[in-house]
Amino acid sequence: MPITFYNNWRLEVLEAVHSWPNRYVVSGASSGNGIYAPTIGSVQFISGTAWLLDAQHQPPGGDWTSSPMRQEVVLGQEHVNLHLIVGAEDPLPTEDYRDIRLSCIFLGGQMIEVPYRPFAVRTSDLMQMPDGIFEARLGTYYMGVRVRNRWGMPFTSNNVVDITPENRIALAQQGIQVLDDWSQEELDALGQERTPQGMVVGTLLPGQSRTIYFKVNVSNARSEKYTVEFICRNTAGMADPDHFGRKATQQIFVSKIEYDSANNDYIFDAPQGTLYLHIDEVAIDEQALRRSLRKARKAKQQGSQKLEDKKPDPQQLKKLLEALLRGEDIDLCEIQRLLSCYCLPDNKDGSNRPGAIDPYYLIFTKMRVRIVPKVPYGGQFGDIPYDDPWWKLLLALIAAILALIGALEEAAQSAYEDEDLVIGRLHDFERHQLDAALCKINTSRELSFAKMLDAQWDEDNQVPVEGDLGGVISLSGDFMTEAEIEELLAESEETGDLSILRVFKSGARTGTTFAQIAEWISWQRCDLEQGDCDNAPEEITRFDDPDRPNLRFEVAEGEDESNLISNKGDSGSVWVHFDSKRPVALNHSGNPNNNTAIGTLLDYIADRFGITF
């Protein structure tokens, strides 16, 4: 039977002892496919994500038939550089698996790849920081690391990934501590398993990837890029523990924002220079903040009352302490119990912060930014802000810091009734047939519907619609109408050309993905979630208006069908016709089981809400 190989290998014929004609066949590779005679000393180089090696023999007067094959391990899973001997056996003359013997050597040289920059996740709520930047003022984070199998064999539960000891020391010298004090609750929340040798990667085929998490404290780090070196180990044993192929490196970004109370400036210092931000006006998420303030006040009142209810008579503690000073024999544990009653924490996490404010959203609407480079430069461009993409996200980062530490708590509460600070209000919505809402924005800021993000460099899907990663796509024209889409479907059916149905979207969960218009569909949410629409609860949303059918999208021709075109979190993204760059539909649902997506025509939505552009 054929044997599956992964990635890049060197095949050399060592022996060819056979009575009948023999050959070996390589198929499914990106390069090296073919039928090869077993000439001793001949060498073939094969590469591909996953490909098949099949040894065959031909009986007299018969067809070519697959031969039984057997693998002998020269260098196995305890090595980075794998080496296998594959033997094939035809029925004659004896069963020695020497009719063809191939030396198979793995040429990948690397076990793992970290394709994207590790990102910061807050330990309190598992929310990712803006652009994954580690802000030193917040201290401890989970560091999310995307690990991809680049090896010639699948990973097992024996494969773990850790930060190298040398890199741990180097990071510590630069103010970054790698922490190993994990609780089982933390591991369960992140869905991972830890061993003394590292985080378990688990079953992972070559080419596949998963995210694992480490814990780091960046409190003492400077604003800088830091290199993190990872290593893949085998807990069942390693013959080459220091092999370079076990290691992979990536950089993380650390920021450190200070506040100048004299000038009311936020100061961000980095090797390229210093950025000064002065905030003049802020728009606040009104409903979220009100809920947070009500919750905080209630928690504070309830916590204080519970604390008072549990406090014993202060005289009881006083009498015990006086007795202790007189040298009398008393119960010291009783003093400890009474003290704990007086000193109960106000929050479940043990902190004495009665009624802490939950995070809420805010947007800077008026601000002043001043940049002072450390090395002056001439002309139009320089290190700030053109050197690194993280500079472009500093304002969003500072906003997140302010929301987290509650720096605007008092100002927000006093300014809460000022309508000039309210971002906007919900104007109209349709939850039964369109699954869409219309918001009226209270601002003079210009909103552009004619642009959308292309594939970004920190997303899983790395194929841009146009140009390079990280770009912006300019859309053209009005929404495509139902009649125009009907024409496209008819033309595609007549000509067999599926490319004219090609569309793309930029979703929050899956990023930039490609699909093609499949058909009109009278879709009901209960089809996906309940199974039986007739017996589904009344509150189940139904999209079954025959006058406003939905569009179903499927994987575009030529795309990898394993990549989801839509997933939870992509709702609200816009499907755009690839050739004309005209908006088509508002994505509202997806079915990962058959990799399809469903959207409502933007033309319908504009008509329902009376929108013109």
Question: Alpha-carbon distance 589 to 256, whole Å?
Answer: 40
- Residue type for position 336: Q
- In this prediction, residue 294 carries a pLDDT of 67
Q: 406-421: per-residue pLDDT in tens?
A: 333 333 333 333 444 4
Q: What is the CATH number of domain 436-609?
A: 2.40.10.10
- In this prediction, residue 206 carries a pLDDT of 93
Tell me: pLDDT of 14 over 70.
yes
Strand 583-591 versus strand 574-577 pairing type: antiparallel
Comparing C-alpha atoms, which of 192, 10, 203, 223 is closest to residue 105?
10
Question: Alpha-carbon distance 235 to 482, whole Å?
Answer: 59
- Could you tell me the pLDDT band of residue 51, with boundaries at 50, 70 and 90? very high
Environment class of residue 41 by beta-carbon count within 10 Å: exposed (0-12), middle (13-18) or buried (19+)? exposed
CA within 13 Å, CB half, 232: 32
- In this prediction, residue 386 carries a pLDDT of 46
Q: 423-453: per-residue pLDDT in tens?
A: 456 666 665 556 677 766 554 433 456 777 7
Torsion of CA 258, 262, 265, 268, to 10 degrees: -30
Q: 295-306: per-residue pLDDT in tens?
A: 666 665 555 444
Environment class of residue 605 by beta-carbon count within 10 Å: exposed (0-12), middle (13-18) or buried (19+)? buried
- Could you tell me the pLDDT band of residue 53, with boundaries at 50, 70 and 90? very high
CA within 13 Å, CB half, 96: 12
- 556: which 2 tokens? 């575009």
- Could you tell me the pLDDT band of residue 322, with boundaries at 50, 70 and 90? low
Arithmetic mean of pLDDT, 19-30: 94
- pLDDT above 90 coverage of the chain, percent: 35
Following DSSP, what letter does each residue of 280-329 receive, concatenated? EEEEE-HHHHHHHHHHHHHHHHHHHHHHHHH---HHHHHHHHHHHHTT--
Question: Alpha-carbon distance 461 to 466, whole Å?
Answer: 14
Question: Alpha-carbon distance 254 to 593, whole Å?
Answer: 39
CATH topology of domain 112-255: Immunoglobulin-like (2.60.40)
- In this prediction, residue 190 carries a pLDDT of 92
Q: 201-237: per-residue pLDDT in tens?
A: 999 999 999 999 999 999 999 888 899 999 999 999 9
Tell me: pLDDT of 605 over 70.
yes
- In this prediction, residue 41 carries a pLDDT of 96
Question: Alpha-carbon distance 380 to 378, whole Å?
Answer: 7
Distances (CA, A) of 545 to 59, 211, 399, 548: 65, 41, 42, 5
First to last CA, the chain: 62
- pLDDT above 70 coverage of the chain, percent: 69
DSSP 384: H
- Could you tell me the pLDDT band of residue 264, with boundaries at 50, 70 and 90? confident
Q: What is the CATH number of domain 3-106?
A: 2.60.120.400
Give SS3 for 341: helix
**Phi-psi bin for 327: left (phi > 0), alpha (psi -120 to 50), beta?**
left
Sign of the Cα torsion 583, 585, 588, 593 reads negative
Of the spans 244-248, 360-364, 490-494, which averages the highest pLDDT?
244-248
Neighbours of 180 (CB within 10 A): 11
- Residue type for position 230: F
Torsion of CA 511, 514, 519, 521, to 10 degrees: -10
Of the spans 23-27, 119-123, 133-137, which averages the highest pLDDT?
23-27
**% helix / strand / coil in the chain, to the nearest 5?**
20, 35, 45
- Could you tell me the pLDDT band of residue 289, with boundaries at 50, 70 and 90? low
The mean pLDDT of the chain is 77
Note if the bond before 93 is cis, omega within 30 degrees: yes
Question: Alpha-carbon distance 590 to 608, whole Å?
Answer: 23
Arithmetic mean of pLDDT, 177-201: 94
Q: Facing residues of 360 across strands?
A: none
Q: Facing residues of 562 across strands?
A: none
Tell me: pLDDT of 404 over 70.
no
Sign of the Cα torsion 456, 457, 459, 462 reads positive
Sequence-distant (≥ 6) Cβ neighbours of residue 554 within 8 angstroms: 515, 516, 518, 565, 595, 596
- Residue type for position 591: N
Tell me: pLDDT of 358 over 60.
no
User: Does residue 330 or residue 156 have the better pLDDT?
Assistant: 156
Question: Alpha-carbon distance 175 to 120, whole Å?
Answer: 16
- Could you tell me the pLDDT band of residue 354, with boundaries at 50, 70 and 90? very low
- In this prediction, residue 546 carries a pLDDT of 54
Q: Count how many residues are written for the chain.
A: 613
Packing angle between helix 332-342 and helix 314-325, nearest 10 degrees?
Answer: 140
